[in-house]
Amino acid sequence: MDLQTTIYLVVGASFALYIGIAIWARAGSTSEFYAAGGQVPPVLNGMATAADWMSAASFISMAGLIANMGYGGGLFLMGWTGGYVLLAMLLAPYLRKFGKFTVPQFIGDRYYSKTASVVAVLCLLTASLTYIIGQMTGVGVAFSRFLGVSSDTGIYVGQAIVFLYAVFGGMKGITYTQVAQYLVLISAYIIPAVFISLQLTGNPIPQLGLGSNLVGHDISLLATLDKVVTDLGFGKYTTSLPGSTLNMFVYTFSLMIGTAGLPHVIMRFFTVPTVKDARSSAGWALIFIAMLYTTAPAVAVMAKTNLIRTMTPGVVMQGTSPYLADSQIKYDERPDWMKRWEKTGLLKYQDKNGDGRIQYYNDKSKNPEFLKKAEDAGWKGNELEVNADIIVLANPEIALLPNWVIALVAAGGLAAALSTAAGLLMAISSSVSHDLIKGVFAPDISEKGELLAGKISMAVAIVVAGYLGLNPPGFAAGTVALAFGIAASSLFPAIMMGIFSKKMNKEGAMAGMLSGLFVTLFYVFAHKGIFFIKGTEYLNVIGGANSFFGITPEAFGGVGAMVNFIVAFLVDKVTKEPPEHIQHMVEAVRTPRGSKTVDGAH
């Protein structure tokens, strides 16, 4: 069976599974629509949480980022995993005990203000819509490569699939669909890694293969890659650090608290029966997440090695000088996987010196000796651009794995993107229907009416998400790190203070959320050239690129969070403290025993 037919069968079977589960798990009440009735077993909720949390960024992009950045790419592993631990230990059990459906509802009740709830909805929508752009774009990329359709068509198909199982099933349908999606995505990630680890090192366990010797050589895989990338003018793979140490610290911090503040992940802990189950499902989710996250560094190293071996086989396997013409392949003899990925526009070749060969190297190297050797060899600049997003998806093709493995990876990439998109859409829908319509504008709406409003909100959110995927704004295209920064700077401090500071009042919380959100968005927009003042870019107003101690816009959420905390505490000190019953409620939420039933009632 040819590759394309195999992909159609595997991806089609996975879609049929998702839709079948959604039909079986239709939501019949608001409790089922928003929180799956609060009756999901901890192990299954752990799987669903893992699928919800491991987005296209985790499945498709993370290993590619680590492959490009080397050691410095570890900030994504530390930030996202550390953030999940923070969420599981400090937030989830208390939010579950509070007994509400959504983050804005918690903030509205905790800060005794409908206005605070509306501000939280604004922050949630900003973070979620920014995040969902990456998911829909990932769906389009995967479809365009594997199903032979345009990326726009791929987004339309993705919208239809999510509509079928999210609108009809609500959180109940999404939960059980995400369990299936986790099984698909983790299989799609680990199976190719096992194959490739065996090929390169003879060790079937990728995590151990990472430190093993190459087959037929007395040098380890990592040592080989270090030598190869330095020969090609890049920094040493095992020690490279992008930017300053301060930026790496703030970036990691932003990802960490942004993860803990993402509303679609927090909502998953409202779906279990008790606080004990919330803690248990958090532990299971961490195990399920770790299966992918401990494999990602090995996937990154092996993909980078295979990519360079394809471009310059002599450099990797025989130690040939990269400046020799016969160490580089001719463009006309490029492998089939390159031809397929060139059609997506994510892999590009430009013959700058007219020799018909592919020169892949760091033409921006700061090593003058290396650049002189490249110039002496007749090189006119790097000729191959490889988008980091294709590393995981293309890796099985580069390694010439069986067609069914390549098809499984296609299904896995789509499962990762669709599972997170569904979770984000659920968070958006519930914030509009439950927190705005029922909580503010129509508090007397019937349960049937609220359920209908939730489904309509979900459908509208899917249309908006598809539009943003088709027309991604310049400030958010290609990076979900900005979404984490927005959540970090706006929602996380309000949640933390709401749980652990009984004296924090509504004025402080609202001022903190708005100030954190504003400074983060301003810094991001300035760097992306979105806003202008009388023809002058904001970037000039703030003093140039990364002007705040060299911190990049993707990392600035950590700074925004600090602004949030500081403003909140300053405003709190000059305004009236919360009512006594609110302070007692905060103390009760932190009491270890007992919990409310999840009913979403005010």
| Mean pLDDT, each 10-residue run in order, the chain (602 residues) | 85 85 74 71 89 78 85 85 83 78 85 92 87 76 72 81 74 83 92 94 93 87 88 86 81 88 78 81 89 92 88 69 81 89 84 91 88 90 86 86 89 82 81 82 83 83 81 54 87 93 94 95 72 48 63 88 96 94 87 55 52
pLDDT for residue 476? 40
Nearest Cα residue to 175 out of 99, 272, 287 = 272
Name which of 7, 29, 372, 315 is nearest 154 in CA terms. 7
d(CA 27, CA 169): 5
**Under 8 Å between Cβ of 128 and 428:** yes
Q: What local confidence, expressed as pLDDT, does residue 534 receive? A: 44
CA 224 from chain center: how many Å?
A: 30
Q: How far is CA 414 from CA 283, 405, 495, 565, in A?
A: 26, 14, 32, 38
φ, ψ dihedrals at 243, nearest 5°: 75, -165
Who contacts 419 (Cβ-Cβ below 8 Å, separation ≥6)? 51, 52, 54, 55, 177, 178, 181, 182, 185
Q: Give SS3 for 121.
A: helix
* CA-based radius of gyration for the chain: 25
Would you give the DSSP letter of residue 1? -
Q: What is the pLDDT of residue 190?
A: 94
Provide the β-strand partners of residue 357: 330
pLDDT at 477: 40
From the number of C-beta atoms within 10 Å of its C-beta (0-12, 13-18, 19+), residue 165 rates as: buried
Report the b/e string of 520-559 with b at 16+ CB within 10 A: bbbbbbbbbeeeeeeeebbbeeeeeebebeebbbbbbbbb
CATH topology of domain 8-301+400-473: Sodium/glucose cotransporter (1.20.1730)
Model pTM?
0.82
Report how far apart, in Å, the C-alpha atoms of 236 and of each of 299, 300, 312, 366 are: 18, 15, 18, 13
What residue ranges do the domains of the chain occupy? Answer: 8-301+400-473, 317-398
Angle at 292 between CA 192 and CA 211, to 5 degrees: 70
Phi, psi angle pair for 537, to nearest 5°? -65, 145
Q: What is the pLDDT of residue 144?
A: 72
C-alpha distances out from residue 289 to 243, 249, 256, 361, Å: 28, 22, 15, 34
